Structure 1
Amino acid sequence: MNFQQAVQTCFRKYVDFSGRASRPEYWWFVLAYVILSFVARFINDYLYLIVVLAFLLPLLAAGARRLHDVGKTAWLLLIGLVPVVGGLVLLYFTVQPSQTESNAYGPPPQPQPAGV
C-alpha cells in the first residue's frame, strides 16, 4: 500500500472502527496527518484547527483497526490519555507486525495492487 492508497482508504473508512488496518496503511495515514498539520500550523491557526478536526475521527478509526490487526481491543486507545507512558505503549502496539492468521476482528488485510 502506498501513501495515496492509505490516505484514501482511511478517509473512506473514516467511521469504520471494525476490521483491521495494516502497518503501512496506518503509518502512511499518520504521516499525512503530521505533514498537513505541520504545514497548516505555519499558515494559519484556523486552518490548523480544521486539519485537526478533519483527521480526528479517521485517526481514531485507523488506530482502532491497527490495534485490531495486532489482536488488541480498540479500547486500548484510551491508554494514550496517560501522559508519556500511554503514548509509548500505543507506539509499541502499533509498530508490531500484523497477525498473519484471522483473529476475532477478521481476516488479515489484503495487500492492495500497485495500480489501484
Structure 2
Amino acid sequence: MHHYTDVLKKYAVFSGRARRQEFWMFVLCNLVVAAVLVTLDVVLGANGILVGAYTLAIFLPCLGLTVRRLHDTGRSGWWYLLILIPLLGWIWLLVLMATEGQAAPNEYGPSPKALHA
C-alpha cells in the first residue's frame, strides 16, 4: 500500500527514477480502486461520475510515475508520447514499463533499486 501513497505524495514529480515494483504495485492498487468505484457507480446509478473523478484526480500522479519509470530505463519522459501511436504505441510502452531499469546511475539519478537494497 505504501507504493500507492508514495506515488500520491510525489503528485507532480517528473524527475528522478521509479522502480518496476513501484510502478506495477501502483497499477495494481489503481485497478482495485477502479473496480470498487465501478461497482459503486453501478449500485448508486452514478453513470461513471465516481470513476471519472478518480481518473481525473489520478492523472498527474500516473503521468509522473510513468515518466520516472521511463527515466529508470534510461529514456526521456517524451517516450510517453508512444501512446499516441494506435495499438502498437501502448504495447511498446507496456514493454518499456516491464523492462528492468539500469543498475548504474544514469542522467536521471541513482538507481532506486540500489537505494533500497
Output the TM-score relative to the length of structure 2.
Answer: 0.88
Q: Distance in 2 between matches of 1:35 and 1:54?
A: 16
For residues 56-89 of structure 1, give each alpha carbon's deviation from its aligned partner in whole angstroms, at most 9, with x where no partner exists.
0000000000000000110111111222100111
User: Are 1:47 and 2:50 matched, yes or no?
Assistant: yes
Q: Which runs of 5+ in 2 are unaligned?
A: 42-47
Letter in 2 for 1:77: Y
**Partner in structure 2 of residue 79 of structure 1:** 82
Superposed CA deviations along residues 9-61 of structure 1, whole A, max 9, x for unmatched, are: 10011100000000000111111112211221221111111111121000000
Residue-pair matches, total: 109
Q: Share of identical aligned residues, percent?
A: 36
Q: Which structure has the larger Rg over C-alpha atoms? A: 2
Is structure 2 residue 29 aligned with structure 1 residue 26?
A: no
Distance 2:96 2:6 in 1: 21
Can you give the 5+ residue segments of structure 1 that lack an aligned partner in the other structure?
none
Between 38-47 and 86-95, report the one with greater CA deviation: 38-47
1:105 aligns with 2:102: no
Letter paired with 1:8: T
Structure with a larger share of its residues in helix: 2
Work out the CA distance in 2 between the residues paired with 1:8 and 1:39: 18
TM-score by length of 1: 0.89
Q: Secondary structure at the match of 1:50?
A: helix
